[in-house]
C-alpha cells in the first residue's frame, strides 16, 4: 500500500545543495575566496623561509592556507558557472518545447540511467579529502606547536579518528563498487506520467547472480529550505513511498540479468522539478539481498511528470 504521508528523511542526501549556485555565489564567495587564497600564496612566496622552531609557524602553513582558500573559491566558481549554464539551458529549451518541460528540467537520457554509486563514492572521497586538508593545521597545532594543550589535542584526536573511520567507509564503498560494478535501468518509455505506470528493466554488470530477493522502493522527495535554530538548511521530505519485494528463489536460485520492475504512479502534485526550488524528484531504490543481508544497493533518478493537456488529449508521450 503506497504511503502518501509527508515525512522528513533525515539521512537522505540532498540533490539541491549545489544545483542552485549562480552569480550570487560566484561574487559573494567564489571570487573573494580565490583572490584571498592567491594573495596569501603570493605573500608566502615573498616570505624568507625560516626553520621550524618550537612555537613558530612553518612556512608551508602559509602555502596550505592560501591553496585551501584558492581551490575552495575555484570550486565555488565552477559550481556557479554550471548553475548559470543550467538556467540558460532551461530558458532556451522551455522556449522551444513549452509542452515538454522534462527536456529543460534535466539532461535526461531517454533510454535509461545508470546507478549513482560511482558519483556517490567520488563525493564521499572528496569530502574526506577536504576534511583531511582542513585538519592539517590543527594537527600541527596539537602535536608540534608549543601553544598546544590537552583540550586541543583531545579534540584533534577525536576528529582524526572520525576521519579514519570515514576513510574506511569510503574504502568499503569502493570495494562494493569494484565487486558488483555498476547497474542500469532501462526506461520502457520516456517520460513516465502521473496517473499511469512506471516500467523499467533492471540490469547489472556482475556479482548478483545468486541472490534471494530484490527490495524495490519508489520515492517522491521534495527538498525545501528551512530555518533550524540559527541556520537555514535543506530538508528532504518524502511525499510518496511505495515498495515491493521480488522473490528470486527458484529451482536454480539464479537471478536473471534483466529484471522487469513496475509501479503504478499516483495522480496529484508529484511532478518532477529539478531546476527550481523547492526541488521535487522521484527515486527508484533497489536492494539485492541474500539469505542474511543486503549485498547491493543502488539509487536511480527517474523522470516522472504531469502529462501536458495537449498530449493528454492525443494520448501520446514524448519518446525516443
H/E stretch holding 197 reads: strand 197-204
12-32, pLDDT tens digit by residue?
888 876 666 888 889 999 999
pLDDT tens string 212-231:
788 999 999 999 888 887 78
The yes-or-no verdict on residue 91 having pLDDT over 50 is yes
Long-range contacts of 62-68 (CB under 8 A, 24+ apart): 64/133, 64/136, 64/137, 65/37, 65/40, 65/137, 66/37, 66/38, 66/39, 66/40, 66/41, 66/42, 67/37, 67/41, 68/37, 68/133, 68/134
Does 316 have pLDDT greater than 50? no
**β-strand partners of 289:** 213, 294
Residues 265 and 198: beta-carbon distance below 8 Å: yes
Q: How many CA atoms lie within 13 A of 310 on its CB side?
A: 6
Q: Give 47-64 pLDDT, tens digit per residue.
A: 655 444 444 567 778 888
Collect all residues with Cβ–Cβ distance below 8 Å to 199 and sequence separation of at least 6.
187, 188, 189, 192, 260, 261, 262
What are 232-262's pLDDT values in tens digits? 788 999 999 999 988 776 544 445 567 889 9
Q: Are strands 294-302 and 7-8 parallel, antiparallel or unpaired?
A: unpaired
Please give the pLDDT value at position 90. Answer: 87
Helices (H) and strands (E) in the chain, counts: 7, 11
Written as nine digits, the cell of 64 is 596550505
Please give the Cα distance from 61 to 137 (Å, whole number). 7
Amino acid at each position: 500500500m503506497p504511503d502518501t504521508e509527508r515525512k522528513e528523511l533525515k539521512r537522505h542526501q540532498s540533490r539541491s545543495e549545489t544545483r542552485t549556485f549562480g552569480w550570487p555565489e560566484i561574487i559573494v564567495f567564489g571570487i573573494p575566496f580565490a583572490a584571498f587564497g592567491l594573495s596569501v600564496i603570493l605573500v608566502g612566496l615573498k616570505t624568507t623561509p625560516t626553520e621550524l622552531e618550537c612555537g613558530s609557524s612553518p612556512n608551508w602553513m602559509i602555502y596550505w592556507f592560501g591553496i585551501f582558500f584558492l581551490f575552495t573559491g575555484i570550486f565555488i566558481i565552477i559550481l556557479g558557472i554550471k548553475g548559470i549554464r543550467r538556467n540558460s539551458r532551461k530558458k532556451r529549451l522551455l522556449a522551444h518545447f513549452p509542452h515538454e518541460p522534462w527536456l529543460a528540467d534535466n539532461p535526461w537520457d531517454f533510454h535509461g540511467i545508470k546507478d549513482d554509486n560511482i558519483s556517490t563514492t567520488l563525493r564521499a572521497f572528496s569530502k574526506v579529502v577536504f576534511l583531511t586538508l582542513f585538519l592539517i593545521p590543527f594537527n600541527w597545532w596539537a602535536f608540534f606547536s608549543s601553544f598546544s594543550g590537552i583540550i586541543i589535542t583531545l579534540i584533534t584526536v577525536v576528529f582524526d579518528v572520525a576521519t579514519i573511520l570515514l576513510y574506511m567507509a569510503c574504502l568499503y564503498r569502493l570495494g562494493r563498487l569494484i565487486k558488483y560494478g555498476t547497474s542500469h535501468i532501462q526506461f520502457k518509455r520516456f517520460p513516465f506520467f502521473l496517473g499511469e505506470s512506471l516500467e523499467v528493466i533492471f540490469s547489472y554488470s556482475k556479482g548478483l547472480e545468486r541472490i534471494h530477493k530484490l527490495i524495490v522502493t519508489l520515492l517522491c522527495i521534495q527538498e525545501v529550505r528551512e530555518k533550524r535554530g540559527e541556520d537555514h538548511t535543506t530538508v528532504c521530505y518524502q511525499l510518496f513511498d511505495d515498495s515491493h519485494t521480488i522473490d528470486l528463489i527458484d529451482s536454480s536460485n539464479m537471478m536473471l540479468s534483466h529484471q522487469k520492475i513496475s509501479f503504478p504512479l499516483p495522480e496529484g502534485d508529484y511532478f518532477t522539478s529539478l531546476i527550481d526550488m523547492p526541488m521535487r524528484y522521484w527515486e527508484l531504490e533497489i536492494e539485492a539481498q541474500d539469505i542474511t543481508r543486503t549485498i547491493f544497493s543502488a539509487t536511480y533518478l527517474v523522470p516522472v511528470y504531469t502529462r501536458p493537456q495537449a498530449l493528454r488529449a492525443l494520448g501520446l508521450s514524448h519518446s525516443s
